[in-house]
Amino acid sequence: MKDDARRRVAELRTLIAHHDRRYHVLDDPEISDADYDLLVRELRALEAGHPELVTPDSPTQRVGASPATHFAAVAHRVPMLSLGNGFTDDDVYEFDRRVRKLLGSDAPVEYAAEPKLDGLAIAVVYRDGRFTQAATRGDGSRGENVTATVAQIRGLPKRLAGAAPALLEVRGEIFMPLEGFRQLNEELTARGEKAFVNPRNAAAGSVRQLDPEVTRARPLELFVYGLGEAEPAATPDRQSELLGWLHSLGFATSPLATTVRGPEACLDYYRRLAAARASLPYQIDGVVYKVNDRQAQERIGFISREPRWALAHKFPAEEAFTLLRDVEFQVGRTGVLTPVARLEPVFVGGATVSNATLHNMDEVARKDVRIGDTVVVRRAGDVIPEIVSVVPERRPVDARRIELPAACPSCGSPVAREEGEAVARCTGGFRCKAQRREALKHFAGRRALDIDGLGDRLIDQLVERDMVRSPADFYTLEATDLESLDRMGEKSAQNLVAAIAGSRATTLPRVLLGLGIRDVGEATALALSRHFGDIEALMEADEAQVQQVPDVGRVVAGHVVRFFADSANRELIGALRARGVQWPAVPVVRDAGAPLAGLTFVLTGTLATLTREKASAALVALGAKVAGSVSKKTSFVVAGDGAGSKLDKARALGVPVIDEAALATVIAEGTPPPA
């Protein structure tokens, strides 16, 4: 038994050392963080059961990897330790129990809590307020001297504001925002260079450049979270106050940092950040809890490689490795063929994933994905899983290239790919049941004609039985027709016919959205309605006239004009009217000087006095744009009851937030909110 343990310990140490080098030195990991954590946890368990097998060079007794040889080594005067990991609620309760035991008190402990950024840990030294050195964590005792490249990070203060100690070493995380990561990979692939697997690797690779000019061009940011040393050591007594002090010196700190009391509050913070995670502009992989009292931190102390007073509570892994078994092509509402990967099921992002999108054939080619490959799958929150990259070292000799089908897999019509477009489309139009099915679902959806009770399964049956061939056919259905469908009784059929009848009284923006014109969403449908007033004027407009609509460019204008030039679409509009669908004209508003012109609002949560649709329409009527997601360009976020991730993202970005009462004032007075 002991010999088996000794052999497995040796295997694990070799494996972990290999993966440490791939991750910390080469910035090219072969396994996911979750798989790496499993290896370390297994090693810890074996060493706990066989203490005689513990050696000073075991991965459990050190922090990371040795510095890369092409950078000068820097000895850390205060070791850069890593944090102990927690994965479950029980781990947090155990951490809190241990802290209280070490403090000799049953009183609830106050913790400083902040997101755990997925980036590159860094130590930055200032002498007399001036930046002098930067070093990576390395193995915790020695890191890499990356002063020249870290100096290129625009957000790093080169000279501190206010009074600072003669010697100050701060610890923080260098990271790459998601939008910057996306743009960087686009630039790299356009030049034929290898793209980065994830933002963490991109940040580490950018810092470890031999040419600082390359680093300067990369979108890097830095959040500071702690101290290495300070001489003289007159620094704040609480971790939360320390962050405020560092911020006053000119450092960026996490806007989501806060204080909590007790393990239940820690877990509540963890769940709130987990819910907001997918909407943040940067990657986080967990949260960190630190005893807030820094004198208490000193009393609690350290073990060999980590402080006892802090815990990293990790989120479920967002990336995992699995096998690509096959690829199928799905046909969407506008005929777009999307390659969908069929995967060996894998648990990632809190759910079991067996399918992932490959987006389009350009992405397939860029990532060189083949059937039989081992792939990295990413799932963030509710985002559709996608294949991030392949692991070339694991490619089998019989891996097959993915080919675009020449004929639609649904209807057999030819597949065409227009010049300059990344996507390929089925040319079958409404003859294609797959396109027809998705177009009808879109037309009946909540944001379009909003036909209550007409769900996806019912539409699937109506299409399969050829009972509905266009949206106008909904208005010919009778209860006796519907009773023959699965799970549709007499009463349900009558209710659905009544709901369809009720949808006949609608609005022009809903009709324009429901028609499914390419790239025309809610905001564009509203803008077109306000500019032209009625559908006849829009149908007769040319591209130049459509481009006069705010935020409508040449491409969207072309889609609109071509849609209404198609006789089948004009016949559909006539058929809708003939079957009783009515929409009143909209007052024409073309005043670029409207009171809210140039402002972008995002609505989140439940409004008590207005529906989202009415609030959006009122804002648009005053010249504002209403968007569905929060970005740095957002002017105001309107937060109702139950506001969630969008509110968190607004706070993270510093976007002004107003409540429903302030919104009512804006609408009533026609004036922008106070900044």
Domain count, the chain: 6
Which amino acid belongs to residue 260?
A: V
304 and 396 share one domain:
no
Concatenating the DSSP letter of every residue in 202-246 gives: HHHHHHT-SSHHHHHTS--EEEEEEEEEEES----SBHHHHHHHH
462 and 385 share one domain:
no
Residue 142 lies in a domain: yes
pLDDT number for residue 293: 96
Residue 67 lies in a domain: no
CA angle 575, 581, 585 (to 5 degrees): 110
pLDDT number for residue 234: 79
Tokens of 148: 């020249």
Q: What is the largest CA-CA distance in the chain?
A: 86
**pLDDT tens-digit readout, 522-547:** 878 888 998 899 999 999 999 999 99
180 and 199 share one domain:
yes
Which amino acid belongs to residue 400?
A: R
Tokens 């070093």 locate to 135
Domain boundary among 502, 522, 549: 502
Residue 608 lies in a domain: yes
Tokens of 606: 């439940």
Domain boundary among 502, 533, 559: 502
**Rounded-to-integer distance, Cα 542 and Cα 560, Å:** 9
Residue 659 lies in a domain: yes
Q: Is the pLDDT of residue 555 over 80?
A: yes
Q: Any idea which of 73-82, 641-650, 652-661 has the lowest mean pLDDT? A: 641-650
CATH number of the domain encompassing residue 448? 1.10.150.20
Q: Which residue has the higher pLDDT, 531 or 420?
A: 531
Helix spans in 302-416 (H): 361-367
CATH number of the domain encompassing residue 36? 1.10.287.610
Tokens 């679902």 locate to 441
Q: What is the mean pLDDT of the chain?
A: 88
230 and 85 share one domain:
yes
Per-residue pLDDT, averaged over 297-323, amounts to: 88
pLDDT number for residue 67: 47
For residue 14, the tally of other CB atoms under 10 A from its CB is 10
Helix spans in 483-553 (H): 490-502, 508-514, 522-532, 535-539, 543-546
Expressed in percent and rounded to 5, the helix, strand and coil fractions of the chain are: 40, 20, 40
21 DSSP assignment: I
CATH number of the domain encompassing residue 635? 3.40.50.10190
Concatenating the DSSP letter of every residue in 67-79 gives: PPTTS-EEE-SS-
152 and 270 share one domain:
yes
Residue 584 lies in a domain: no
Q: Any idea which of 156-165, 234-243, 498-507, 621-630 has the lowest mean pLDDT? A: 621-630
- CA-CA-CA-CA torsion for 464, 470, 475, 480, nearest 10 degrees? -20
Read off φ and ψ for residue 663, nearest 5 degrees.
Answer: -65, -40
For residue 106, the tally of other CB atoms under 10 A from its CB is 8
**Rounded-to-integer distance, Cα 358 and Cα 366, Å:** 11
**pLDDT tens-digit readout, 116-138:** 998 999 999 999 999 999 999 98
For residue 242, the tally of other CB atoms under 10 A from its CB is 23
pLDDT number for residue 173: 96
Which amino acid belongs to residue 418?
A: E
164 and 279 share one domain:
yes
**Closest among 209, 253, 223, 259 to 239, alpha carbons compared:** 259
572 and 614 share one domain:
no
Q: Which residue has the higher pLDDT, 628 or 508?
A: 508
Residue 585 lies in a domain: no
Give the list of residues 6+ apart from residue 321 with CB closer than 8 angstroms, or none.
31, 32, 35, 346, 374, 375, 376, 377, 391
Which amino acid belongs to residue 65?
A: A
441 and 296 share one domain:
no
Residue 595 lies in a domain: no
Residue 256 lies in a domain: yes
Give yes or no for a cis peptide into 232 (omega within 30° of 0).
Answer: yes
Percentage of the chain beyond pLDDT 70 is 94
pLDDT number for residue 421: 77
CATH number of the domain encompassing residue 244? 3.30.470.30
pTM (two decimals) = 0.54
330 and 309 share one domain:
no
Q: Which domain holds residue 544?
A: 508-578
Q: Which helix (H) or strand (E) holds 295?
A: helix 294-300
Q: Which residue has the higher pLDDT, 154 or 502?
A: 502
Q: Is the pLDDT of residue 9 over 70?
A: yes
**pLDDT tens-digit readout, 261-301:** 999 999 999 999 988 887 899 999 899 999 999 999 999 99
Helix spans in 301-383 (H): 361-367
* Catalytic residue status for 116: yes
Give the list of residues 6+ apart from residue 502 with CB closer than 8 angstroms, or none.
452
269 and 331 share one domain:
no
153 and 209 share one domain:
yes
- CA-CA-CA-CA torsion for 272, 276, 277, 282, nearest 10 degrees? -120
Tokens 């009292």 locate to 293
Which amino acid belongs to residue 64?
A: G
**Rounded-to-integer distance, Cα 468 and Cα 466, Å:** 5
**Rounded-to-integer distance, Cα 558 and Cα 551, Å:** 14
Tokens of 108: 């609830």
239 and 160 share one domain:
yes
CA angle 209, 211, 213 (to 5 degrees): 110
606 DSSP assignment: B
Domain boundary among 502, 524, 550: 502
User: How does residue 379 score in pLDDT terms, banded at 50, 70 and 90?
Assistant: confident
Tokens 């109702």 locate to 640
Give the CA count within 13 Å in the CB-facing half-sphere of 371: 13
List 101, 116, 441, 649, catalytic entry: 116
Q: Which residue has the higher pLDDT, 620 or 489?
A: 489
**pLDDT tens-digit readout, 292-305:** 999 999 999 988 67
